[in-house]
Amino acid sequence: MHVLIDQYIPFLNGVLDPYATVEFIAPEEFTPARVQDADALIVRTRTRINKDLLAGSRVQFVATATIGYDHIDTSLDIPYWTACPGCNAQAVCDYIQEALLAVQLPYKSIGIVGYGHVGSRVAAMAKQLGMDVLINDPPKGLGVSLDEIADQCDIITFHTPLDETTYHLCDAAFLSKCRPHALIINAARGGIVDEQALFESHHPCIIDCWENEPAIHHALCQSPQTLLASYHIAGYSVEGKRNASQMCLDALCRFFNLPLLSVNTDQMPPAGDSQPGWLTRVSNQLKAHPENFETLRKQYPLR
């Protein structure tokens, strides 16, 4: 068995060696020629799993070590694919809390769009901070309408997957219904927020996930309306990465009938900066050099 793994996915070095030929490669090395003889791929969002990549290959298994899977064409006839829902939910919740504490706005009400692994944690955290919480999650039959969120909330944070129903969910029409001072937060997926419409609305915002990464909206990033900007690292914690790697490994072992294996905790990366103010420091980095988005992301030390 031949397995290709994104080199930025930690905790997997040596684990599969007794059972497979394993190669750790850069995201840009996932090419049709490189995956031709692979049986399994373990990737991140930077690898587009599509017909062009997999045509003529023998790939049977694809796992993405992320909660989102909009980079996988699920209409393809892949024998098995999987994502890691909830793997970094607490890390994203911690990011939202750090962001709210960093901006220190006197806001009392928060609207949470999407009440899944992350949204439910954000709701509990916001209640502990004494905020009034409104939920919007029509697929689960929960909460109020988006119009009520727009009308009643000082903060609106998005925690949905990205698909045809959520693409530009926060668009010019929605923003026009929001309170003029309403703070918009996107730490979910780029594309949920129409960034040009957000920029033109002048709403204050906090953005971690951007459209067209790594070629992000420089004007929005550097605008004073963007109180905090980060390089898609809300979920980048040691715990989140370990959870994702273990979930990918579990799925691979089940599919190929291998013994259940554990991630390599000897490969524990050093803890990064998690002291108060860490998000402000990250934001200052990106605002100074938005063109360095991908480099900053690759060099970010896990919290």
Domain boundaries, the chain: 2-87+238-267, 89-234+274-299
Q: Give residue 44's pLDDT.
A: 95
Does domain 2-87+238-267 bear CATH number 3.40.50.720?
yes
Q: Give residue 156's pLDDT.
A: 98
Q: Give residue 271's pLDDT.
A: 65
Cα four-point dihedral sign 297, 15, 26, 189? negative
Q: What is the dihedral of CA 284, 288, 292, 296, to 10 degrees?
A: -20
Distance CA 243, CA 50 (A): 25
* Third-level CATH fold of 89-234+274-299: Rossmann fold (3.40.50)
Distance CA 252, CA 258 (A): 8
Distance CA 34, CA 4 (A): 9
Domains 2-87+238-267 and 89-234+274-299 alike in fold: yes
- Provide the annotated active-site residues: 189, 213, 232
Q: Other CB atoms closer than 10 Å to residue 177's CB: what's the count?
A: 13
Q: Are 53 and 81 spatial neighbours (Cβ–Cβ below 8 Å)? A: no
Residue 84 zone, left/alpha/beta (φ > 0; ψ -120 to 50; rest): beta
226: phi then psi, degrees, rounded to nearest 5: -85, 100
Residue 226, C-beta contacts closer than 8 angstroms, at least 6 positions apart: 204, 205, 206, 207, 220, 287
Instruction: Kindly state the DSSP code that residue 18 receives in the 8-state scheme.
Output: T
Q: Give residue 276's pLDDT.
A: 79
Distance CA 98, CA 102 (A): 6
Q: Are 217 and 293 spatial neighbours (Cβ–Cβ below 8 Å)? A: no
Collapse the DSSP code of 196 into the 3-class scheme (helix H, G, I; strand E, B; otherwise coil) and give the result.
helix
Residue ranges in the chain whose pLDDT is less than 70: 267-271, 273
Element (H, E) at 89: helix 89-103
